[in-house]
Amino acid sequence: MCKVAHPMSYTLGDLLGLLDLEELEQNIFRGRTRDIGSGSVFGGQVLAQALVAAGRTVESDRLAHSLHGYFILPGDEAAPIVYFVDRLRDGRSFATRRVTAIQHGRAIFNMAASFQHPEKGPEHQIPMPDVPAPEGLPRELDLIRSIADRIPEPLRAIYTQDRPIEFRPVDPVDPFRPDRRPPVKHVWLRAVGAVSDEILQHQGVLAYASDYGLLG
């Protein structure tokens, strides 16, 4: 294992700063971007900022319960992103929003989201899988750093940098020796630090985290 410097440390505070959008005008917000070394904006950041922008236009007691996002173009990490929110509907229980993310005059992302006032109704969930507790599992970041000497130099700093979200995979995969497995992945995750009591901020952090390893 080689020793790796981590000049691109990325903290939870950095992420929460990205989710603190600037309101330019009613229904128009601007978000900062961050250089993670990939040449384009991390998709999870765009998704999270779009969700927060939409959430800023609904009553505070309405929570996001559904969203669909479409990535149209790669984002430019050197330029801010402007989010235009369309208030499609404000009903007694539900609010529907459409968000378009713009850079350099072009749409790079589109999202539809629905927010609901909490109320009683049918509930369902899948059973909790029988998996080991997170305390006995290694961090994904430590697993990656253990094979850092096998990662090409241009990508090494990206994959080995500190992250605002900690992941602990139950059954990690060696990317250099992948094997055929069912399309199921069990991963524990948590924010590396404290998040405020605001539900929208929690949902933004979760939206950001959802893009890690989505296709892995």
Q: Taking 50 as the threshold, does the pLDDT of residue 200 lie above it?
A: yes
Q: What is the pLDDT of residue 1?
A: 31
pLDDT for 63-76, tens place per residue?
Answer: 999 999 999 999 99
pLDDT for 7 beyond 80:
no
Domains assigned to the chain: 12-118+197-209 (3.10.129.10), 134-189 (no CATH)
Instruction: Tell me 193's DSSP state.
Output: S
Range scoring the smallest mean pLDDT among 45-49, 142-146, 202-206:
142-146
- Please say whether the beta carbons of 37 and 157 come within 8 A: yes
- pLDDT-wise least confident of 31-45, 84-98, 193-207: 31-45
Alpha carbons within 13 A on the beta-carbon side of 169: 15
Mean pLDDT across the chain: 90
113 pairs with which residues across the strands? 67, 97
Query: Which of the four pLDDT bands, split at 50, 70 and 90, describes residue 111?
Result: very high
pLDDT at 201 over 80: yes
Q: How far apart are CA 53 and CA 79, in angstroms?
A: 18
For the residues of 90-123, what is the DSSP string, one character each?
Answer: E-SSEEEEEEEEEETTEEEEEEEEEEE-------
Q: For residue 8, what pLDDT band results from cuts at 50, 70 and 90? A: low
DSSP-assigned letters across all residues of 67-93: EEEEE-S---TTS-EEEEEEEEEE-SS
d(CA 16, CA 192): 11
Rounded to the nearest 10 degrees, the angle between the axes of helix 199-209 and helix 43-55 is 160
Q: String of b and e for 32-47 (b: at least 16 CB within 10 Å)?
A: bbeebeeeebbbbbbb
